[in-house]
Chains A and B, each alone.
Chain A
Amino acid sequence: MENLVQIALQNVNLAAIMPSLVLVCFGMGLLLINVFLPRGTTRPAVWISLVGIVVTAVVTVQGWGNPQYGFSDAVALDNFATFFNVTFLLAAALTILMSDDYLRREGYAVNEYYPLILFTTAGAMWMASGTDMMTIFLGLEVMSISLYVLAGFFRGQSASNEAGLKYFLLGAFSTGFLLYGMALIYGVTGSTRLTEIGAYLNSHSSLLANPMTLAGLVLLSIGFLFKLGAAPFHMWTPDVYQGAPTPVTAFMSAGPKAAAFAAFLRTLEYCFFGLKPEWSAMLWVLAVLTMTVGNVIAISQTNIKRMLAYSSISHAGYALVGLVAANEIGYSGVLFYMLAYTFMNIGAFAVLILVGKQGEENLTLEGFAGLGYKRPLLGVAMSVFLFALMGLPPTAGFAGKFYIFAGAVKAGYIWLAIIGVLNSAVSLYYYLRVMVYMYFRDPTEDYAWISLPVSVLATIILAVIGCLYLGILPNEVMAMAKTAIF
């Protein structure tokens, strides 16, 4: 027996991964339970996954103000991670609530959908709390692979197949960039721990001019920018968002996008604070490009789902402004904005689900004609979400954009803030057009097919409350976001 190598399991701190641990346990348990559920019975899976999310949320919230580190610094459950984890959990919960009836309607009531959502969320959590490049990378892969499957979930529909395949191929390609960047950074610094990389680069200032460091930074950024759908790496977004099942699209544009922001922000701030001028300049260009490309192309869209896909590109651009600002208010603005965007975007997609019929998504602008009169409550809810997406007070979108642009101005990026505001003005056009159709066009249909299932109603009500609460009383959450950044 003396040949056995003794390994001390030092530094195992389960508290540092508790939220993702609970979530993964629920996901795996659900996979097992699904085997014993009769075909077509989805309610238990919905309930169990929701209970899992609530339990995880309770565990997560307890970690606030009580940072936990563990696994020899591979993971840090600090306030930053906790804030993002809450965002992911909200996105997952709202998505699950609105999925069941939609999946049933389209004939894909498959229980494995729910564990996959839970695994995606767990992957996002590892990205937000990872302080080691390996943790971040594997979290990203868990998240992405679940999403590839979810995007192609409607196997009988060619659009969904295309979405899944396209996302998979391009996602794998972008992961290659990310890994190459990580490898180069590892070569330069000899470590995969973010803090050690930062310390090494800082103590050897000649390394900052080493072309390999710069190449690593650029390749790493490409990998993250792809995941958050920034121009010029946004080509996959419209097709994938349009082809994927609507709840998946809603989830994808909220949770995983926030996760990419979280990992990107932490990597930039922990590893590359010495190169701030360089990456600020790079992201300045990309932020302007992303905002403009998203908004300008969204104008010419007549399909609302595709329009929201382009609008989600432009929203990634607004959030990038906060990264460029790279100060307290800019960073916390990004955190706030991602939370706000979760509410407004998922809410808008929930309304889209209700307006559709079986097998006929009904996503053209004409499909919304007169909706505001025939279905006043839905019309009001959609208006709230659209106002939030436009960034008008008193909604969450206004507060979020205000903080981000304030951060940019404070950091001296006046022009960036002006371009951002001008872009918001452009976006008024295509969001308002939906409202014009809802309220100023005579209804061509009576919308009698719209039933209002309790679960979807709950999604919409929660999203409206979120949009208005964050819009009217943003200070409390913003103060939390400020304590969440490093």
Chain B
Amino acid sequence: MALWVDKHRPKALQALDYHSEISERLESMSNTSSLPHLFFFGPSGAGKKTRIQALLKQLFGPTVLKTRLDSRTFETPTKRKIEINMITSSVHIELNPSDAGNYDRYIVQNVIKEIAQNHPLIQNKNVPFKVLVINEVDKLSKQAQAGLRRTMEKYTSVCRIILVGCNQSKVIDPLKSRCLGIRVSAPTVDEIASVLISTGQKENVSVPPTLASQIATLSGRNLRRALLMLESAHTQNPALDSTVKAPRCDWEEYIVKLAGEITGEQSPQKLLQAREMLYELLINCIPSSVIMKSLTIELLKNCDDSLKVEVVKWATFYEGRMNGGKEIFHLEAFVAKFMALYKEYLTNLFG
């Protein structure tokens, strides 16, 4: 049984729920058959992949949907075997070179270049090229990105490249200037709510508007997450009525609790307790930058404006130091720093 997210993913450009101006642009581009290289960027869960799929279907017809999983092994000059997976159809290939970590450069130089050089298998008069979708370009090393530069120019007659990434500024300028950038912004809370309700209708479940907007707010404007939350709410309680609360992830609840503990009392004992809670979060594979961000948001709720500036300043400071180091130290240092700031603030307030 497919998840609702996949089952009700729109397949055609016309069926997309929001960002109609992007759909129109993509549609007019696919008609002229002079598709430039594209670079889709935007936060996760905004619908980048859905739009690419719809665009490909518009270009090539239903053949795009018949995909299979291919894997390829190749050897780096240092005699290391690397395997990468790609999703292929007869007209397009989708791959994720950043999977190879440090060796992503070789994927760009070998695999992508080779794919780009060959002619498309099916000769289509209207669309004389095939499409290569490269995921997570923002995670590629600078070397690998540089490797794409000339490949993109040289083989344009037979191959178009679609880059997908979350962060536009992690892609080097020379690549960006070769592509037409398409920004897919996160859907608004209302848009998510209406998608939730219409998905409910397709599944014969009536979603109360209050629940829909509650989930939409909690999802942080991430449609995928909102749909998953809706489905999990539905599995827990098949009859969705207005009494059902939007399910929140355990770890989010846990961070709220942690923030409560920290603001409740500032003492070395609490710090020790906070350390245990932070360990618990880390053990459950919550990324440290996510912990830092969510914790800061929760802590800010109890601060006045001048204190907020200070708290964010130190959060950024410790988050910046975290990269590559032992994360627990920096999270703990932040908690200690916050305790100190908060205590000082309280003392000044009440004398």
A binds B: no
A interface residue numbers (CB < 8 A to B): none
